Structure 1
Amino acid sequence: MESLKNRTLLKVIVLGDSGYVYKKFNRQYKATIGADFVTKELHIEDKSVTLQIWDTAGQERFHSLGAAFYRGADCCVLVYDVNDLKSFETLNTWHSEFLKQANPMEPETFPFVLIGNKTDVDGGNNRVVADMRAMEWCGAKGNIPYYETSAKEDVNVDEAFWGVAQKTLSSELKQNM
């Protein structure tokens, strides 16, 4: 986490369901490696917080990017499609791959956030992953925060990223105590 007075920059890696950030925010930069890169400005208390969000768009080739891509991450957002069981079942793989590649100093307390996306599809009638199942998964991973969103309909996305920022900032404060 880099700070300049009351300005904070947080690097957030998004793994899982394809192209989450791209659907919500205007693409500001397309990295040569193919990940979408956007920034989101927030104000939390008296701080100006910039989330630098790297979204791999769920592409398998990012599994082999190695430590360079993950280095310096302040938070990892795991995303799955509530209508796609396979996207939920791969969360453990994404979670462990992130920990392996990023190699954070305190993996048990590294800030993760889970987002269940596409709640808008068919009015929720196609849903195959219940929110309780997702919350149980979060509990097993150290009670990580969980949000349900529709990036397409812009439902709860800002709240989720607000939660990402708060989780990351509170984690940083605990580590600096």
Structure 2
Amino acid sequence: MASRRRMLLKVIILGDSGVGKTSLMNQKFSNQYKATIGADFLTKEVQFEDRIFTLQIWDTAGQERFQSLGVAFYRGADCCVLVYDVNVMKSFDNLNNWREEFLIQASPPDPENFPFVVLGNKIDVDGGNSRVVSEKKAKAWCASKGNIPYFETSAKEGFNVEAAFECIAKNALKNEPEEEL
């Protein structure tokens, strides 16, 4: 049995336009490839527990006109990251829509246990004085959806981005069958 396996983990980042999805990705990843179909696609090789895997991050641009592309983007995802701006209530309120849309489009085999991670981004804005979504409210929403892991981040300052992506990678690994690429 080979001790080192190469794995591909597909992660989808969803949320309203302007919440900082692309900034979060650029903070953590490099080698950006901009597709012409409304998505950014980035990869990073990571070693974890004597396995090498490629984290493949898909950012579907957030605009509603690209939502019809969902099936192709979402299919085969190992984890879905929902991002909102802590300073914009509508972006938080729309998390339900993004989550439901993902589950419909991706149709994972076990939707109740599919790994999601929620990021409340832009906590640095205006020294936190513009904030309209409390951490308590966000954590309550995550708890009501099956205890989704929650992180407050600042893509601009790089705050908590590393920890969030480590959690994302671990959650993606949970659902990934051991296959050699």
Q: Under a length normalisation based on structure 2, what TM-score does the superposition of the two structures give? A: 0.87
Residue ranges of structure 1 left out of the alignment (5+ in a row): none
The equivalent residue for 1:99 is 103
Residue ranges of structure 2 left out of the alignment (5+ in a row): none
Q: Distance in 2 between the 1:17 and 1:154 partners? A: 20
Whether contact under 8 Å (1:42, 1:162) holds in the other structure is no
Q: Distance in 1 between the 2:30 and 2:176 partners? A: 28
Three-state SS of the structure 2 residue aligned to 1:99 is helix
The equivalent residue for 2:22 is 21
Three-state SS of the structure 1 residue aligned to 2:112 is coil
The equivalent residue for 1:118 is 122
Number of residues of Structure 1 aligned to a counterpart in Structure 2: 170
Q: Distance in 2 between the 1:105 and 1:158 partners? A: 29
The equivalent residue for 2:46 is 42
Higher RCO (Cα < 8 Å, 6 or more apart): 2
Q: Which runs of at least 4 in structure 1 moved beyond 3 Å after TM superposition?
A: none
The equivalent residue for 1:163 is 167
The equivalent residue for 1:147 is 151
RMSD: 1.8
Report how far residue 43 of structure 1 moved. 2.5
- State the identity %: 65
Residues 10-33 of structure 1 deviation map (CA, whole Å, 9 limit, x = unaligned) = 010100043513442445101121
Three-state SS of the structure 2 residue aligned to 1:9 is strand
Q: Distance in 1 between the 2:43 and 2:156 partners? A: 18
Report how far residue 51 of structure 1 moved. 1.1
Report how far residue 84 of structure 1 moved. 0.5
Three-state SS of the structure 2 residue aligned to 1:52 is strand
Q: Distance in 1 between the 2:161 and 2:173 partners? A: 18
